[in-house]
Structure formats: C-alpha cells, structure tokens
C-alpha cells in the first residue's frame, strides 16, 4: 500500500522523460507547486511551451539525464523504456513514478485540490485513476476558492492563540471553535485575537 506524504521539493532535482499528454500533466502539477523540472523527449506537445519552470531537452532517453536526479517521472509511450527507467531508479534509490506501471513506481501522483495551503489529495492505489478524478471534481465544488483565504486566516489566528495562551487544552478548545465558523465569522472572531496581540 502507498503511504501518504507531503514532500518539500526545494533543491530536489526532478527529471521527466516524455513529452506527451501525460508528461505534460505531471509537469503542470510540478509547476503549480513552483517546482522546476527538466524534461527530456524527442518531441513535445505545444502545451509545454506555455509552462513556466521547465527546461526542455530535445533528445531520447539516456541514463545520463537521470543520473543526478532524485525524482524521476517515466512518461514515454514506450513500455520498455519506461521499465528501464524504473529499474535504474530502483537500483540507484531514486523516487520514480512510472506512468504505465504502478508496481514499478515507488510513488504515484494523486488527484488533488489546492486552495492556498489547503491540499486535498485522492488516490486509489492505482485501481481507478478515473475515480480519483471524479472525487477530485466533487471536492472542488465543496471546497471552493474561498478556502484559500479561510485556511490562511486560520493559520494566522492559530498562531496568535499559541502566542497568547500557554495552556494546550485552552488552545485546543479555542481552535476547535474557530473551525466551526464560516469565513465571515472567522474574520470577525480573528479581529479579537489580533487586537489582543497588539
């Protein structure tokens, strides 16, 4: 079974092999989290030219391209190449996502909804990526754009509570109350903590 984790990828070298639809989706994900990637393929679909933070390398896969990478995505349409990439990465202890083989992947990519620092992710252990997508779309409706501000504000107020109250039980009780509020009520409640903090 796959274990859920949120990775800090600063200073991690990421290389994607392949320049088609699937490689593009994986690159766009990295881009949404401000991560830079190198992408190697003999040809790229046009969408790649719109991406920020990608370095395109027009070539077929060679080991040298992933030798120094810590995280690799094997996203060609050639099963033999994808498998070779997967095996090389296992041998050299790299994180690898092989897009046509969950068993050769030591990590997979979930569907996700990102609202500022709120991150909801869904995976099915490779059983049904389409179900992940469907659930993601349901979550997008329930957790709309307003959650970005909501979570930001919860973070700010929580920090104030931690600074102002020593007793962990009191902190917990206050924070429990905060998450019952909607955005407008939270803004109102938050002001109290802000003025007390000044």
Ligand X SMILES: NC(=O)C1=CN([C@@H]2O[C@H](COP(=O)(O)OP(=O)(O)OC[C@H]3O[C@@H](n4cnc5c(N)ncnc54)[C@H](O)[C@@H]3O)[C@@H](O)[C@H]2O)C=CC1
Residues that bind ligand X (CB under 6 A): 17-23, 40-43, 60-61, 75-78, 81, 99-100, 129
Q: Report how far residue 172's alpha carbon sits from residue 93's, in angstroms, rounded to the nearest whole number.
A: 41
Non-local CB neighbours of 165 within 8 Å, separated by 6+ positions: 171, 174
Told to check if 102 binds ligand SHN by CB under 6 A, we report yes
Residue 22: burial class (beta carbons within 10 Å; 0-12, 13-18, 19+): middle
Could you tell me if 57 and 40 are in contact, meaning their C-beta atoms sit under 8 angstroms apart?
yes
Contact flags string 54-93 toward ligand SHN, x per CB under 6 A: ----------------------------------------
Q: Which is nearer to ligand X, 33 or 58 (CB)?
A: 58
Nearer to ligand X, 16 or 154 (CB): 16
Provide the total of helices (H) and of strands (E) in the chain, helices listed first.
Answer: 6, 7
- In terms of CB distance, is 56 or 102 closer to ligand SHN? 102
Stretch that binds ligand SHN, among 54-62, 131-139, 142-150, 189-197 (CB under 6 A): 131-139
Q: If residue 151 lies in a helix (H) or strand (E), which one and from where to where?
A: helix 146-164
* Gap between the Cα atoms of 172 and 174, Å rounded: 6
Task: For ligand X, give the closer residue by CB, 131 or 185.
Answer: 131
Task: Kindly list the residues in this chain that would bind ligand SHN in the complex (CB under 6 A).
Answer: 25, 29, 97, 99-102, 105, 108-111, 123-126, 128-130, 132-133, 136
């Amino acid at each position: 079974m796959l274990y859920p984790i949120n990775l800090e990828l600063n200073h991690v070298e990421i290389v994607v092999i392949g320049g088609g639809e699937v490689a593009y989706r994986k690159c766009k994900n990295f881009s949404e989290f401000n991560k830079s990637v190198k992408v190697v393929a003999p040809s790229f679909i046009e969408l790649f030219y719109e991406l920020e933070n990608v370095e395109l390398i027009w070539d077929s896969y060679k080991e040298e391209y992933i030798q120094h990478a810590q995280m690799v995505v094997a996203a060609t349409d050639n099963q033999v190449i994808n498998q070779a990439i997967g095996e090389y990465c296992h041998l050299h202890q790299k994180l690898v996502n092989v897009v046509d083989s969950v068993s050769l992947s030591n990590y997979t990519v979930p569907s996700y909804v990102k609202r500022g620092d709120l991150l909801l992710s869904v995976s099915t252990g490779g059983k049904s990526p389409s179900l992940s997508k469907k659930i993601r779309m349901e979550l997008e409706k329930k957790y709309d754009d307003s959650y970005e501000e909501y979570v930001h504000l919860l973070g700010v107020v929580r920090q104030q509570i931690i600074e102002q109250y020593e007793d962990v039980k009191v902190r917990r009780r206050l924070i429990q109350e905060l998450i019952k509020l909607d955005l407008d009520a939270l803004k109102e409640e938050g002001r109290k903590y802000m003025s007390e903090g000044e």
